[in-house]
Amino acid sequence: MAFAFQKAWQQDIVDTQRNFSKGTVMTQIKLKGKPVNTIGSLPAIHTKAPPFRLVDRDLHEHTLEEFSGKKKLLTTVPSLDTGLCSTMTKHFNELAKKHPNVAFITVSADLPFAQKRFCEKEAVHNILILSMMRGREFGEKYGVLIVDGPLAGLLARSVLVLDEKDHVIYEELVSEITEEPNYHKAAECLKHYHA
C-alpha cells in the first residue's frame, strides 16, 4: 500500500511539473544554497487564506472553516522526520501553551501514521498536525509546494498568522529550507495584533 501511495504521489509531482506553463508563478527558495522552486506564492498580507481540507493523525478531516472566529498560526514543514522540522514544531507547540485561544496548525507531507508517532514520541499535544495526504492542492493554493530538486513534492518551510476572519496578518516563506523561521516575529504578531 505504501508503495502504491508513493508511486501515485510521484506521478502527481510529474503531472504538476508537466502542467507548468510559461505564465506559471513560481517562488525561488534555496536548499543548502541551491535554488529550488515552489509553485505560486504565499497568500499576501490582508488577503483571505484559501480554504483547505486536510487529514489529522487519526484520519479525521479538518477544514479552515472549523477555526473561524479564532486567530490561527499555520506552519508548513517538509517532514517531521527531519531534525529542523521537529525543532520548529516543538517550538510552536510550546508557544501554543501561551496562546490557548489561538489555533496552532502544522501541515506536512508526512502520512498521518508518521505524524501520530512523532506527536506521541515528542509529546506534541498543543497543536494540530495535518497531512496533505488527501489535500495535495493545499501546497499549490498556499504557494509552498516544492516542485523541483530533491524535495519535490514536499512543502517549503513557512509561517502564516491569520486573523479571526482568515485574513493573513503575517507571512514568512523561509528563504533557505535548512534554516528556522523568525519565531520572534510570529510570536509578536500573535501578541500585539488586535482585529
**pLDDT tens-digit map of 129-167:** 999 999 989 999 999 999 999 999 999 999 999 999 999
User: Cβ–Cβ contacts within 10 Å for residue 175, how many?
Assistant: 12
Identify the CATH number of the domain in which residue 29 sits: 3.40.30.10
- Show the cell assigned to 73: 498560526
Share of the chain above pLDDT 90, in %: 82
Q: In this predicted structure, what is the pLDDT of residue 25?
A: 74
**129 exposure class (CB count in 10 Å sphere: 0-12, 13-18, 19+):** buried
- In this predicted structure, the answer to whether residue 8 has a pLDDT above a threshold of 80 is no
Q: Which residue has the higher pLDDT, 136 or 171?
A: 171
The answer to whether residue 85 is catalytic is: yes
| Dihedral angle computed from the Cα positions of residues 129, 133, 138 and 142, in that order, rounded to the nearest 10 degrees | 50
Cut 0.95: pTM above it: no
- pLDDT tens digits, residue range 48-73? 999 999 999 999 999 999 999 999 99
Most confident range (mean pLDDT) of 21-25, 50-54, 190-194 is: 50-54
What is the extent of the structural domain holding 27?
2-192
The tally of domains found in the chain comes to 1
Give 5's contacts (C-beta < 8 A, 6+ positions apart). Answer: 111
Marked catalytic residue, from 42, 49, 54, 85: 85
Pick from 6-20, 128-142, 152-166, 172-186: least confident: 6-20
Task: Indicate the average pLDDT of the chain.
Answer: 90
Helices within 33-159 (DSSP H only): 83-98, 112-122, 137-141
Backbone angles phi, psi at 85, to 5 degrees: -65, -40
